[in-house]
């Protein structure tokens, strides 16, 4: 993995915005990929899922998506079928996913990003809702 930090971001999502702001508060400027405009390739998505230690089902977003309409609540669907669905409708990919030299995580809640940032927060961080994340 390169030294870059990459965030698969949705600017309409508060969790994604908080995660991006925490990355920047650590002194890093990440590569920001708005995944609804520029979805990952199947190969990239599969690699992100594996690197994060997730299953495709664990990465599926249900709220505000065509999850039920697409029949994705069927527990017998294969991983390939779930990835196919995410490729067809990227809104199904939960976010934000962050890649750093220290790993890949689905950052829900947003402070999970702190586990993989190369540089810790220097100061306390206030999330959009006012919650304070204490600097180490």
Of 5, 6, 13, 121, which residue is the catalytic one?
13
The answer to whether the beta carbons of residues 48 and 97 sit under 8 Å apart is yes
The answer to whether the beta carbons of residues 28 and 119 sit under 8 Å apart is yes
In the 8-state DSSP scheme, what is residue 93?
B
In the 8-state DSSP scheme, what is residue 135?
P
Catalytic (active site) residue 107: no
How far apart are the C-alpha atoms of 106 and 124, rounded to whole Å? 22
| Residue numbers annotated as active site | 13
């Amino acid at each position: 993995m390169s030294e870059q930090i990459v965030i698969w971001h949705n600017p309409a999502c508060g969790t994604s915005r908080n995660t991006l702001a925490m990355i920047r508060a650590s002194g890093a400027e990440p590569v920001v990929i708005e995944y609804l405009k520029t979805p990952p390739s199947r190969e990239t998505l599969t690699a992100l899922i594996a690197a994060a230690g997730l299953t495709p089902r664990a990465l599926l977003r249900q709220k505000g998506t065509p999850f039920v309409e697409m029949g994705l609540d069927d527990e017998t669907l294969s991983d390939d079928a779930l990835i196919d669905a995410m490729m067809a409708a990227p809104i199904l990919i939960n976010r934000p996913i962050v890649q750093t030299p220290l790993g890949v995580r689905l950052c829900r809640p947003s402070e999970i990003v702190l586990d993989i940032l190369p540089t810790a927060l220097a100061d306390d961080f206030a999330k959009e809702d006012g919650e304070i994340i204490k600097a180490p």
